[in-house]
């Protein structure tokens, strides 16, 4: 009798050792798959196989948190419930922190399962497992539940690592894209200083990030006419930079063959609309000056109005149209014309100059900008731009929330 009992004890020990060996092998296979960066469906399939074939679990529902919501990424056995019903059922057990039996539950969803296993990270639920049709023995129940927890935790860590790796790749890709876009933009922006006997120009560009959508240009059309523009392309990154490149090429092409600014704007609107299908737009201020007639023609296409200073007074150049690239046919299109006196200063800027965070509209707004123009309008373009930036640094003391471009001309 004692010999039989001894053999039975040895058999139990052997079965326990074999079971532990199988557990270790299962964990090793899952770990290897994670280290090889196997796809998520492969990991989930491996988890289901272990639960079905090794632990003999007939029904499984495995829910994980994904961007504030829960999704069911593993399920087999029985009729599948809607995800909202599963989630609500698990939410009823949100105070449960450890594996818990579901015998006696009154919830119609939970009654189909034997055990509920929650997973937390810093007191925040990140996953739930519902185990059903589980053929357990009392002696091994605690061990089996611990193994389930360990196995699922390993999978959760693997999924989190894959998520972090993907985010890192996306971040690196984003930074590379921004670098490329910055290179494109640097090639597009002309010299920021220009001076001849008729005009002096100075530009400042302060990007909010590596690359923005601001753009300006100065084009000498012939020996007595020049054209300039300042623009803001919606969006960031390489797509905005490429749109800007196409926009610059189109502007320069049409400016050399078309005298009428309204025709140039209309052509640019069609080009931008065709290239972006209405998904991006451009605000811009476009002006052309004739040195012989001393007439300035301009169109403001939904942009911050340029400010013209002459003889102690400043006016805004508002006439024009809406932004380009948003409508197939511009709803209205008006061209402004101004006679230019000697020593006239024209200040152009993008909306980043006015937008700061937190809101500083009480101490910095268009009226105060207008006052700065009147106060400093007799300065050279370089001195004028610096005076605007100095004023913001002294009185606003807040970081702009967008790129800032200043383009100032003085016409002699």
Residue 252, domain CATH:
3.60.40.10
Whether residues 268 and 405 fall in one domain = yes
Q: Residue 161: which domain range?
A: 2-167
- State how many domains the chain has: 2
Whether residues 255 and 341 fall in one domain = yes
Whether residues 294 and 401 fall in one domain = yes
Looking up tokens 């039996």, which residue turns up? 101
What are the DSSP calls for 205-220, one per residue?
EE-SSS--SEEEEEEE
182 domain residue, yes or no: no
* Residue 211 predicted with pLDDT over 60: no
**Sign of the torsion angle spanned by Cα atoms 234, 238, 241, 246:** negative
Least confident of 93-102, 176-185, 275-284: 176-185
pLDDT range class, residue 362, cuts 50, 70, 90: confident
Measure the CA–CA gap between 172 and 175, rounded to whole angstroms.
5
Whether residues 155 and 222 fall in one domain = no
More confident residue, 376 or 160: 376
Whether residues 141 and 257 fall in one domain = no
What residues have CB less than 8 Å from 22, skipping those under 6 apart?
Answer: 54
More confident residue, 210 or 328: 328
Question: What pTM value is reported for the model?
Answer: 0.59
DSSP class of 276: H
Whether residues 152 and 197 fall in one domain = no
In a 13 Å sphere around the CA of 137, the CA atoms on its Cβ side amount to 4
* Residue 218 predicted with pLDDT over 90: yes
18 domain residue, yes or no: yes
Least confident of 109-123, 217-231, 236-250, 384-398: 236-250
Whether residues 311 and 349 fall in one domain = yes
- 305 with 350: CB under 8 angstroms? no
334 domain residue, yes or no: yes
pLDDT range class, residue 381, cuts 50, 70, 90: very high
Whether residues 263 and 308 fall in one domain = yes
* Residue 121 predicted with pLDDT over 90: no
User: Mean pLDDT throughout 158-165?
Assistant: 83
More confident residue, 11 or 133: 133
pLDDT of 403 = 80
- 321 with 330: CB under 8 angstroms? yes
Whether residues 299 and 384 fall in one domain = yes
251 domain residue, yes or no: yes
**Per-residue pLDDT tens digits for 8-29:** 556 666 666 766 777 788 888 8
Measure the CA–CA gap between 125 and 72, rounded to whole angstroms.
14
pLDDT of 1 = 47
User: Mean pLDDT throughout 219-229?
Assistant: 93
* Residue 111 predicted with pLDDT over 90: yes
- 83 with 71: CB under 8 angstroms? yes
Whether residues 126 and 221 fall in one domain = no
pLDDT range class, residue 347, cuts 50, 70, 90: very high
User: Mean pLDDT throughout 235-244?
Assistant: 75
């Amino acid at each position: 009798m004692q010999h039989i009992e001894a053999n039975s004890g040895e058999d139990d020990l052997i079965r326990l050792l074999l079971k532990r060996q199988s557990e270790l092998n299962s964990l090793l296979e899952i770990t290897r798959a994670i280290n090889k960066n196997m796809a998520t469906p492969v990991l989930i399939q491996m988890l289901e196989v272990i639960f079905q074939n090794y632990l003999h679990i007939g029904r499984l529902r495995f829910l994980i948190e994904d961007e504030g919501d829960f999704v069911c990424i593993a399920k087999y056995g029985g009729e599948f419930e809607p995800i909202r019903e599963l989630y609500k059922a698990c939410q009823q057990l949100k105070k449960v922190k450890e594996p818990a039996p579901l015998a006696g539950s009154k919830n119609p969803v939970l009654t189909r399962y034997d055990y509920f296993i929650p997973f937390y990270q810093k007191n925040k639920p990140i996953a739930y497992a519902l185990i059903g049709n589980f053929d357990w023995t009392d002696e091994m129940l605690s061990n089996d539940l611990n193994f389930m927890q360990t196995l699922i935790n390993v999978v959760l860590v693997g999924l989190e690592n894959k998520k972090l790796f993907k985010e890192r790749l996306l971040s690196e890709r984003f930074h590379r894209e921004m670098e490329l876009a910055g290179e494109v933009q640097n090639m597009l922006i002309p010299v920021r200083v220009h001076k001849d006997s008729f005009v002096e120009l100075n530009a400042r560009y302060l990007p909010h990030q590596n690359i923005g959508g601001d753009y300006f240009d100065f084009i000498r059309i012939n020996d007595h006419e020049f054209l300039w523009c300042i623009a803001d392309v919606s969006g960031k990154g390489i797509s905005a930079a490429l749109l800007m490149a196409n926009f610059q090429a189109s502007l320069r092409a049409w400016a050399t063959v078309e005298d009428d600014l309204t025709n140039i704007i209309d052509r640019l609107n069609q080009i931008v609309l065709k290239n972006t299908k209405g998904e991006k737009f451009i605000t811009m201020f476009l002006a052309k000056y004739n040195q012989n007639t001393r007439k300035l023609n301009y169109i403001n296409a939904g942009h911050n109005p340029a400010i013209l200073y002459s003889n102690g007074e400043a006016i805004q150049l508002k006439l024009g149209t809406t932004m380009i690239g948003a409508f197939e046919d511009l709803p209205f299109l008006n061209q402004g014309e101004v006679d230019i006196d000697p020593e006239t200063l024209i200040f152009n800027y993008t909306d980043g100059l006015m937008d700061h965070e937190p809101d500083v509209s009480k101490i910095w707004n268009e009226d105060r900008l207008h006052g700065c123009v009147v106060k400093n309008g007799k300065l050279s373009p370089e001195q004028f731009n610096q005076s605007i930036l100095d004023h913001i640094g002294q009185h606003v003391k807040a970081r702009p929330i967008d790129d800032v471009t200043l383009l100032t001309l003085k016409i002699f």
